[in-house]
Amino acid sequence: MSVKIMHFETHDVRFPTSLTGDGTDAMNTDCDYSSAYVSLYTNSDLVGHGMTFTIGRGNDIVCDTIKHVASRLVGKEIEPLFENMGKAWEHLVADSQLRWIGPEKGVVHIATGAVDNALWDLYAKSRKKPLWKLVVDMSPEELVKSAAFRYITDAITPEEALEMLKSKEATKQQREAKVCELGYPAYVTSAGWLGYSDEKVAKLTKEAVQAGFNHFKMKVGADRANDLRRGQIIRSIIDDPQYLPPGHTPHDPAGPELAGKNAGPTGAVLMIDANQVWDVREAIDYVKSLEPIKPWFIEEPTAPDDILGHAAIRRALKPHGIGVATGEHAHNRMVFKQLLQADAIDVCQIDSCRLAGVSEVLSVLLMAAKFGVPVCPHAGGVGLCEYVIHLSLIDYIAVSGTMERNVLEFVDHLHEHFLNPCSINSRGRYNVPSNPLEGYSIEMHKSSIAEYEWPHGSYWVKAEEAA
């Protein structure tokens, strides 16, 4: 029997994180972490799940758009899709009328990300492998066929990508064994939300140090004095050996993994994130004033589409030893292409569903590897941590071959709603997903959907009654 995609379901799932200040920053002041969730059903037991992350209002619009994109897969046999996932991705973005209201950006694009991710989840489950393992076990030729190259061949051609991947092929197994043993390096944002009190920031920072983390990120941009104070609170803890876990040896600030990161005496690194709040000149002046807290980089200092603005900020901050990172709101691979070509970023921050799914992510991983820019994915939202560990493993094992300077964001929120939640080991590193049936790790508990689906989930009904 040929297996076909028969129908799909979407769910608008919203969690009330605005009540506790989780996710707050200078631009986004009340975040209800939300999932525009899709399930692709076949005429077999196979089901593929995917989602796109939003922060509340508008999640219903994404769900409606997912229905238009997912309908393009109904009736399709899965094996021809899996044979060439790059072409399958091109099919998803090829509806000319939907494309008109992008093209390849905005709501249509993130809806496409949910659907493409669900298709990849279906593929991985059909092969009984976690997604990362499915991809790293591909031949270089198969991986190149799985990526999206339209509009980026002036930065990297399929032939160049194939050569890069072949150069890493012989040593993939050693890297896989190493990361399975050690875990993938992580940084923590959970202590640095803008809406937290100083006491909560200090408490969560101490807990993060005890958990083995040595990279930390805080939100900035609302008030300089407040940012300096909060940064100094975090620095006073992460730079003090007394807070390290028992028996923990400080990292060498001059070591190759930390060189150029403004690491403190214990080897701890602080990053700052403005979430697009400034104009270019304002960003330069503001970040210079935060030099005393020694940030490695400023993330999203200005509008995410402003490639030349990011390049100007990077040039101005370089003498101060502060880098520039962006990408969580980069619409598509073309924006990343230009950021890399313009020498505008020190760190490339892909998002698992702002880009239109795994196939487009692979394109950006390949470009970043060619330009020698480390990839540190964005994961500040529901489901994103579950997603991006797979992407970082693909990058390390099959594409860039390095994780020495890379760190993957970890936010300790809402993992309990997933069947296969991500986890962190005692070294402050992501554990490698190992369940052969988990696919892309994004399947949500039915009970969580029933409770938090908007507006008729049991939580929201009770909230409305209590209002």
CA distance 52 to 64: 12
- The answer on pLDDT for 249 being more than 90 is no
Query: Which residues are CB-neighbours of 243 under 8 A, at least 6 positions away?
Result: 206, 209, 210, 237
| 18 — pLDDT class (breaks 50, 70, 90) | confident
Taking Cα atoms as reference points, which of 270, 283, 264, 260 lies closest to residue 217? 270
24-33 per-position pLDDT tens digit? 566 766 789 9
What tokens does 147 get?
């990526």
- The answer on pLDDT for 22 being more than 80 is no
CA distance 32 to 59: 10
CB 429 within 8 A of CB 182: yes
* Three-class secondary structure of residue 20 per DSSP: coil
Residue 197 is classified by DSSP as: -
CB 42 within 8 A of CB 73: no
Residue showing tokens 């890379």 = 406
Q: What are phi and psi of 292, to 5 degrees?
A: -60, -25
- The answer on pLDDT for 311 being more than 70 is yes
| 192 — pLDDT class (breaks 50, 70, 90) | confident
- The answer on pLDDT for 305 being more than 90 is yes
214-243 per-position pLDDT tens digit? 999 999 999 999 999 999 999 999 999 999
Concatenate the DSSP letters of all residues of 33-69 into one string: -EEEEEEEEESSS-EEEEEEEE-STTHHHHHHHHHHH
Taking Cα atoms as reference points, which of 148, 173, 174 lies closest to residue 161? 148
Query: Which residues are CB-neighbours of 147 under 8 A, at least 6 positions away?
Result: 86, 158, 161, 359, 360, 362, 363, 366
- For position 190, what pLDDT does the model report? 83
Burial of 207 (0-12, 13-18, 19+ CB in 10 A): middle
Return the active site residues: 219, 378
CA-to-CA separations, 374 to 186, 187, 205, 448, in angstroms, rounded: 14, 14, 25, 35
- For position 28, what pLDDT does the model report? 66
- For position 380, what pLDDT does the model report? 87
CB 357 within 8 A of CB 113: yes
Strand partners, 54: 34
pTM of the full predicted structure? 0.96
What is the bridge-based pairing of β-strands 184-188 and 323-326?
Answer: unpaired
CA distance 51 to 12: 10
Residue 399 is classified by DSSP as: I
Cα dihedral 205/402/133/140 (nearest 10): 150
Per-chain mean pLDDT for the chain: 96
CB 148 within 8 A of CB 112: no
- The average pLDDT across 49-54 equals 98
- For position 383, what pLDDT does the model report? 97
Count Cβ atoms below 10 Å from residue 212 Cβ, excluding itself.
18
CA distance 8 to 15: 23
Q: Check residues 315 and 17 and name the one with the higher pLDDT.
A: 315
76-85, 154-163, 171-180, 188-197: the lowest-pLDDT one: 188-197
Q: What percent of the chain has pLDDT over 90?
A: 92
Evaluated on CA atoms 295, 296, 297, 299, the torsion sign reads negative
- For position 117, what pLDDT does the model report? 98
CA distance 426 to 95: 47
252-300 per-position pLDDT tens digit? 999 999 999 999 999 999 999 999 999 999 999 999 999 999 999 999 9
Buried b (16+ CB within 10 A) or exposed e, 282-320: ebbebbeebeebbbbbbbbbbbbebbebbbbbbebbeee
Q: What are phi and psi of 214, to 5 degrees?
A: -130, 10
56-66 per-position pLDDT tens digit? 999 999 999 99
- For position 25, what pLDDT does the model report? 62
Amino acid letter, 167: S
What tokens does 272 get?
């700052």
| 467 — pLDDT class (breaks 50, 70, 90) | confident
Concatenate the DSSP letters of all residues of 240-281 into one string: -GGGSPTTPPPP-TTSTTTTTTT--TTS-EEEEE-TT-S-HH
What is the bridge-based pairing of β-strands 215-219 and 269-273?
Answer: parallel
- For position 26, what pLDDT does the model report? 62
* Three-class secondary structure of residue 284 per DSSP: helix
What tokens does 449 get?
């959907």
CA-to-CA separations, 113 to 49, 244, 288, 294, 361, in angstroms, rounded: 12, 40, 36, 36, 10
Burial of 45 (0-12, 13-18, 19+ CB in 10 A): exposed
* Three-class secondary structure of residue 7 per DSSP: strand
- The average pLDDT across 356-381 equals 97
What tokens does 77 get?
């046999």
